[in-house]
Structure 1
Amino acid sequence: MEHIVIIGNGIAGVTAARHIRKLSDKKITLISAETDYFFSRTALMYVYMGHMRWEDIKPYEDYFWEKNRLELRRGYVKSIVPKETTLLFDDGSHMTYDQLIIASGSTTNTFGWEGLELEGVQGLVTKEDLEALEKNAPNKKVCPHAVIVGGGLIGVELAEMLRTRDIEVTMLVREKAFWTSVLPHVEGALLSQHIQSHGVKIIHETNLDRILGDSNGRVRGVVVKESQEEITCNLVGITTGVKPNISFLEGSGIETDKGILVNRKLETNVPNIYAIGDCAQQRDPIGNRAAVEAVWYTGRMMGEVVAQTICGKETAYNPGHWFNSAKFFDIEFQTYGWVQPSSKRKDYETQFHWKHQDHTKFITLAYDKNEGTFLGINTFGIRMKHEVFDRWLTEDRSIDYVMDHLKEANFDPEFYAHYEHEIRSAFKNKTVTA
């Protein structure tokens, strides 16, 4: 019986396993060094915050795996020997495969700062990171003050988590406003204000120089690069992004760059070896998308695609229009299409910004100033329908059409407030506030 081995039991690997099982009777083994069972990584924060228990973030009951004949192997793959179709584990054991899917995910991206090895310095990517956080910052008495290096989605999640335990938080953000590597400056500035309203201190245009430790090897502070100011703290959260977890592939002959290089069918340069999820890098990026996409839903899509190919129906990865969602404390964020930050904005792109007077609801619409075509939307504090914007992007609707039909995108008009009239009026008058 053909043996499919999947390295990694995150959303990409588990989706591939589930869909291969739906389509075939092949033997399937999932390998993970992190946990016995698949869990929802995006829900880790809610365990720390007390909203959920660990067992609540496992999407499937433990019996699911045996029932569906999905074998689980707990272990760390040290290396791959493609010529022998063999995986070598760090405990000296090995496993052979017929086809291999690498779904090894991401790891915290660090930049060689002095002091990274100190106790109390950590990222927020894995279950191990969550367990370390419980040890390093169980309460305000043990951890009065934390410094978070970097902004972005992981940074704001960590800040929210720590604030629920009344721990003081300082964020070092290198941009002039929050997450402006992704968002227009006006949105980043509003987010900076909102995050600070939750008791978080943000120091903008600031970089970490080094991390300081005490005589016991525990963090005691950080030094800011620009001013050489020392900030005393008991925890340093490294949230400067993630990178593909691929160090174990060295010497395997599998081609890598930032991630594992794959074609549209998610095939590597080695026959019968595929890569999906956060660790995969498209040789030719798709449209405006990044070559490496560390996003939950793209990992799920890749898992579905590779299952089709492995089961005899070659399928190309086609993720469609860009979308994503997140949360900044109590402000929900959605994005559909492309709303570029200032550094990436094309000559033809113009943007319309609207904000409510309470500063917790704001949007940006991007459109082609020459053709009038709708390009994308960012929404904060206003929930809208994915399917509607996805259809409008496919139909190349004009910005005027989108404005005239904006109420159709209201997520649930019965329960959600209406702002479409104010937004449309502001657009026609070219003002920016309600």
Structure 2
Amino acid sequence: MSSTEHVVIIGNGVAGITAARHIRRISNKKITVISAESDYFFSRTALMYVYMGHMKWEHLKPYEDWFWEENRIELKKAYVEKIEPASKMLFLKGEEKMSYDKLILATGSVPRFLGWDGQELKGVQGLVSKQDLELLEDNTRNCKSAVIVGGGLIGVELAEMLHTRNIPVTMLIREKASWQNVLPLQDAEFISRHIQSQGIVLKHETELKKINGTNGRVSSVNTSSGEEINCNLLGVSVGVKPNITFLKGTEIETDMGILVNPHLQTNIPDVYAIGDCAQHREPQNGRKDIEAVWYTARMMGETVAQTICGQTFKYKPGHWFNSAKFFNIEFQTYGLVNAEPGEDEKHFHWENKEGEKAITIAFDPATSKFLGINTFGIRMRHEVFDRWLTQQRDLEFILRNFREANFDPEFYDRHEKEIFSSFKDQLANSQT
């Protein structure tokens, strides 16, 4: 294989840049990263802190600008309009062309809109890209009030951002509580109470029906309860979808995302897909076929780099984990805690009297095997839970050794008796 083989990566998010870095580490291939979003790779999870004034744009770049030239990774700011796999050619906006030997698609996600009347009005937007944040600056310059549709992570982040600018926020949440499509109801209600305590108005079991405008700009929304709410901004947070519209008409097979095998290969030779835009044909047990999460994007970048450099690897994400923040409460999850558990999954839930810390543990009621845990306001050690999941420990072991997994050992000393007592009560109630 020639050392001058040209690898082109479309997308400079964590998936694409991780692939580029690892390909460079183990090969001398020519690497080009194309992105229309930004000149340099930046930490997308920190976008909100720029708006909130905690960070500046330059703080979002994990690498100095000289890093790319020194590591012979060419960065090109351009928009790919079309891919022609037969000739291995990319057509860029402005009639420029670029050839490739290997192509990695790492194009990420875009906000999902549901076809509401008025969604094209100014002041209606999602929050995924650098351009979205710049648009938010414009849209909130003279904003008197805002509505957010959707109770997921992006919606909570957006609410917190607007809250720091003293913009009143109302959130429309279709479910009984925040993020209930992902979290068990008790956890979702815990989050809803916390968000409400910050001064955010939550309207549960409420859907957006219509967006009204004045002079081309959003002025109010109508809800499923018949209410009209005035607003100058409508934040859309009903999920994201893979950014793949530019692939329409190509031979590359897509469904919701770009279909890939366990080696992250598409149906076209020498074309791969990683990160938010990839859809696994054979998702691992308990995992979703599309996982728009930072750490899985990074792992896919590492995996595809090995394959492209001649060491064919299968993508093995291991045990599921994730983390997020709901205002100032940190959320962590390890293993699988289903929002709606079946007969082979039972939940133990505990929260402190102040309503600022909570735990939900999922286990198999027949064997007591530990399945997963959600924690709120309690920082846990990833490597410990990862080991316990691999060892298939039982619930009693988890409760008795909770101190080992906790960054704050005093937490368990303070709450051990209460947690065990709560578990026994719940167990007794479930058996009566």
Q: Normalized against structure 1, the TM-score is what?
A: 0.96
CA contact (8 A) 2:10 2:105 kept: yes
> For residue 339 of structure 2, what is the aligned residue in structure 1?
341
Provide the secondary structure at the position in 2 that maps to 1:84: coil
CA distance in 1, matches of 2:385, 2:417: 18
Counterpart check, 1:144 vs 2:137: no
Counterpart residue type for residue 93 of structure 2: D
Alignment of 1:84-233 (within 5 A): 84-138=87-141, 142-215=142-215, 217-224=216-223, 226-233=224-231
> For residue 9 of structure 1, what is the aligned residue in structure 2?
12
CA distance in 1, matches of 2:352, 2:89: 58
Provide the secondary structure at the position in 2 that maps to 1:397: coil
Aligned counterpart in structure 1 of residue 404 of structure 2, from 391, 404, 408: 408
Counterpart check, 1:242 vs 2:240: yes
Counterpart residue type for residue 409 of structure 2: P
Counterpart residue type for residue 36 of structure 1: D
CA distance in 2, matches of 1:431, 1:362: 18
> How many residues are aligned here?
425
CA distance in 1, matches of 2:421, 2:244: 51
Counterpart residue type for residue 227 of structure 1: S
Relative to structure 1, the CA distance from residue 417 to residue 129 in structure 2 (aligned partners, 3 Å threshold; closer, same or farther) is: farther
Alignment of 1:276-291 (within 5 A): 276-291=274-289
Q: Could you give the per-residue CA deviations for residues 227-256 of structure 1, whole angstroms, max 9, x where no partner exists? A: 332111000000110000000001110000
Q: Could you give the per-residue CA deviations for residues 279-302 of structure 1, whole angstroms, max 9, x where no partner exists? A: 000001111111000000000000
- Give the deviation of 1:416 after TM superposition: 9.2
Counterpart residue type for residue 219 of structure 1: V
CA contact (8 A) 2:139 2:233 kept: yes
Provide the secondary structure at the position in 2 that maps to 1:237: strand
CA contact (8 A) 2:402 2:412 kept: no
Counterpart residue type for residue 205 of structure 2: E
> For residue 268 of structure 2, what is the aligned residue in structure 1?
270
Between the aligned residues of both structures, percent identity stands at: 61
Provide the secondary structure at the position in 2 that maps to 1:17: helix
CA contact (8 A) 1:407 1:420 kept: no
Counterpart residue type for residue 335 of structure 1: T
CA distance in 1, matches of 2:55, 2:75: 25
Provide the secondary structure at the position in 1 that maps to 2:189: helix
Relative to structure 1, the CA distance from residue 202 to residue 428 in structure 2 (aligned partners, 3 Å threshold; closer, same or farther) is: same
Provide the secondary structure at the position in 2 that maps to 1:419: helix
Counterpart check, 1:424 vs 2:420: yes
Which shows bigger deviation, 409-418 or 172-181?
409-418
CA contact (8 A) 1:170 1:202 kept: yes
> For residue 369 of structure 1, what is the aligned residue in structure 2?
365
CA contact (8 A) 2:159 2:200 kept: yes
- Give the deviation of 1:210 after TM superposition: 1.4
Q: Normalized against structure 2, the TM-score is what?
A: 0.96
Relative to structure 1, the CA distance from residue 88 to residue 166 in structure 2 (aligned partners, 3 Å threshold; closer, same or farther) is: same
> For residue 382 of structure 1, what is the aligned residue in structure 2?
378
- Give the deviation of 1:194 after TM superposition: 0.8
Unmatched tracts of structure 1, length 5 or more = none
> For residue 324 of structure 1, what is the aligned residue in structure 2?
322
Counterpart residue type for residue 387 of structure 1: E
Counterpart check, 1:28 vs 2:31: yes
- Give the deviation of 1:101 after TM superposition: 0.2
Counterpart residue type for residue 382 of structure 1: I
Counterpart check, 1:37 vs 2:37: no
CA contact (8 A) 2:320 2:335 kept: yes
> For residue 81 of structure 1, what is the aligned residue in structure 2?
84
CA distance in 2, matches of 1:270, 1:421: 58
CA distance in 2, matches of 1:21, 1:391: 31
> For residue 359 of structure 1, what is the aligned residue in structure 2?
355
Q: Which runs of 4+ in 1 moved over 6 A?
A: 414-417
> For residue 394 of structure 1, what is the aligned residue in structure 2?
390
> For residue 346 of structure 2, what is the aligned residue in structure 1?
350
- Give the deviation of 1:414 after TM superposition: 6.9
Counterpart residue type for residue 300 of structure 2: M
Counterpart residue type for residue 13 of structure 1: G
Provide the secondary structure at the position in 2 that maps to 1:430: helix
Relative to structure 1, the CA distance from residue 272 to residue 418 in structure 2 (aligned partners, 3 Å threshold; closer, same or farther) is: farther
Q: Could you give the per-residue CA deviations for residues 114-156 of structure 1, whole angstroms, max 9, x where no partner exists? A: 1121111110000001001111113xxx111000010110000
